[in-house]
Structure 1
Amino acid sequence: MELRDIEIFLVLAEELHFSRTAERLHVSAARVSQAIKKQERAIGGDLFVRDTRNVRLTPLGERLHRDLKAGYQLIEDGIEGAKAESRGAMAGLTIGVIGPQAHDLVPVTTVFRARHAECELTFREVGFIEPLAPLRAGEVDLQTCWFPADDEGLREMITSEPDMTLGPVVITEPKVLMTADTHPFAQRVSVSMEELGDCALLGFKGLDSIPDYWVQIHSPSHTPGGRPIPRGPAVGNWEETMAKVVDRTVCLVSAEALRYYPRRAGISFVPIHDAPRGRWGLVWRTDRETPMARAYVQVARDIGTRHFDLD
């Protein structure tokens, strides 16, 4: 028995009138009659008594009505619940960003808002300690994340985060060395990755909760030549990072620092001429992919990666 035929039976059981049933369901009276005859043939008995004066349920019809009504209500409730959940998912999108990256995503965001004006889009800053925690907690739907510079690191990231889907790379940029103005490197035109073995590099707080691929992106343990890089104080946020960059302690950062924090008193940014470019991509929980998250990712794919360079 098809769902539409069940609906016709239930409405006719309420109305007990073929024309009113047809009008209520926006079908013809003939369609109602055909559906009931079809059901009676399939069941093997009359569901209604019809005469020139009225229509009434037979005992068999009354039993079928009781049984079908509860089940049909469950189906309707399920459909309405799914629609409500879909409307909720369509209505909003929260994107987590590290630092000022919402500004770098403006081209993607502008097109997304033009395509999906009904969506309430919100940006939320996430920290670089346990950066994926907001995603896992359901506090954001989608977020930017450091991606390793090479395929080996990317494979390690995929293995380390099996509950996450890695999307397109949205930003690439050079890496620079953040130092105090008084540091010898501050006067250099550029430095090499090998020279990091000559100074202490800031570490991260909470290393036990941070995967190694994440640490190696901005706080590598060895130079390309295999020399150990001394570890300086551990930091947990950007303000601590800038405060700790004193004397011979330095920090490897993305070039976005030059775009958004160029005039910080006492701080210099030195290009690293042989560092791999930093990559930022979009990440989301595989089991909580929403329609609006998919739509934002699609816009990012359409626009392509945004490449920044040092001016």
Structure 2
Amino acid sequence: MELRHVEAFLVLAEELHFGRAAGRMGVTQARVSQLVRELEREVGAPLFERTTRRVRLTALGMRFRESAGAGYRQIFEALRDSQSAAREVAGVLRVGYLPGLGDCAVRLAGQMEARHPGCEVVVGALGFPAALLPHDLLVDGAWDVVLSWAPCGDGRALAAAGLAAGAALGRYERAVLVPEGHPLARCETVHVDVLSQYEFLNPSNSVPPALRNLWTAQGTPSGLPLRYTDDDLAAMAGKDDLTAEDLLLLVARGRGLYLTVNAVQKRFNFPDLALVPVHGVPPRGGVPIWSAAAENATIRSFAALVGEHGQRVAKKSHESFISRA
């Protein structure tokens, strides 16, 4: 039995006329008759007496109307309340962020609360490797939105994983973190193809490759493969949840390089490390990511705010470039 069957019964029970019932429901008389017959077959007895001159409820029909009517109204009210809540920008929005994007996260949280006074934004830095591989955090509901690096690919793999991404809040030039004594530390800049000669930190062995590859580059734009350590971050550090400092320490100790963005230089000042700009590869976008199944008006409003921020940053960058030209 479907909700449509109950609706047809209740409308006909009020109108006691197939034509008027069909008009209210926006369907044909034949469709109303079909729905009622299907319901009666499921009940196992007639709910209406039908003659060429009139339609009236049977005793069982009157009994069914009493109980079904109350239940239908509850379902309808619940649906209406849910639809209203889905359109309302309110409640608590939990936003996790990659440590390098913390300054943006705090500003966006304040702007969101100012624009929507009924909304409270809770922000928090994510540990590693979760910050680099946010799928589980979102699907499990630990966070509503994660500000992370834009996933690789054309978006189909992201959709297949049950996630959605919004417009970029900014684009960041690439850089590689290396130990101070590393051969690349002496370079002013390095082409991305050169990185294929070195080994990078493996974020996780426990995440399925299809998900890991969304955020972990497997090769350079020219097709050269990038190599990763056999042990992942958790195995190297001896714990599952790492801080940004833990990751930097692994690089400083020579366990592997880490491909990142220039912006981390403003955020972290760690001894025994060098941050070398990388050319030959597009900038990396920072984007909001969320579970497609959990999307609501609040998440959409936050994503729109991120997009507005990104447009302002892009415009400012363009104007700065023009002024220097």
Q: TM class by shorter-chain length?
A: 0.5 to 0.7
> What's the Cα RMSD here?
3.7
Equivalent residue letter for 1:251: Y
With normalisation by structure 1, the TM-score equals 0.65
Query: Displacement, 1:130?
Result: 4.0
Decide which of 136, 140, 145 is 1:142's aligned counterpart.
145
What residue ranges of structure 1 are gaps of 5+ in the alignment? Answer: 7-42, 46-59
The 4+ residue runs of structure 1 with deviation greater than 6 A are 62-66
Provide Cα deviations, 1:214-267, integer angstroms capped at 9, x if missing partner: 3543xx3x4455555443453244344212213484211123321211x21212
Are 1:148 and 1:278, in contact at CA under 8 Å, matched by a contact in 2? no
Structure-1 separation of matches of 2:60 and 2:222: 83
Aligned length: 251
SS, match of residue 205 in structure 1: coil
Structure 2-normalised TM-score?
0.63
Report the CA distance shift for 1:71/1:276 in structure 2 as closer, same or farther (over 3 A): same
Match of 1:234 among 232, 237, 242: 232
* Amino acid in the other structure paired with 2:75: G
**Partner in structure 2 of residue 154 of structure 1:** 154
> Where does structure 2 lack aligned partners over 5 or more consecutive residues?
1-7, 15-53, 235-241, 318-325
Change (3 A) 1:214 1:112: same
The equivalent of 2:295 in structure 1 is 289
User: 1:70/1:240 Cα in 2 relative to 1: closer, same or farther (>3 Å)?
Assistant: same
Distance in 2 separating the partners of 1:228 and 1:299: 36
Partner of 2:122: 122
Tell me, what secondary structure is at the counterpart of 1:280? Answer: strand
Alignment CA distance shift 1:130-1:216 (3 Å): closer
Shift of 1:64: 9.3
User: 1: distance between equivalents of 2:72 and 2:96?
Assistant: 37
The alpha-carbon distance between structure 1 residues 248 and 185, as it changes in their structure 2 partners (threshold 3 A), is: farther
Write the mapping of 1:177-188 to structure 2, written as runs, cut at 5 A: 177-188=176-187
Separation of aligned partners in 2, 1:74 and 1:183: 71
| Alignment match of 1:304 (pick from 300, 310, 315) | 310
- Once the two structures are TM-superposed, the CA of residue 115 in structure 1 deviates from its matched residue by 1.7
Per the alignment, do residues 280 and 81 of structure 1 end up closer, same or farther by CA in structure 2, a change over 3 Å counting? same
Looking at structure 2, the residues matched to 183 and 293 of structure 1 have their Cα atoms a distance apart, in angstroms, of 43
Instruction: Please state how far the C-alpha of 1:133 moved relative to its aligned partner.
Output: 0.5
Instruction: Tell me by how many angstroms 1:168 deviates.
Output: 1.6
Query: 2:71 pairs with 34, 59, 74, which one?
Result: 74
Q: Is the CA contact 2:133–2:215 (under 8 Å) kept in the aligned structure 1?
A: no
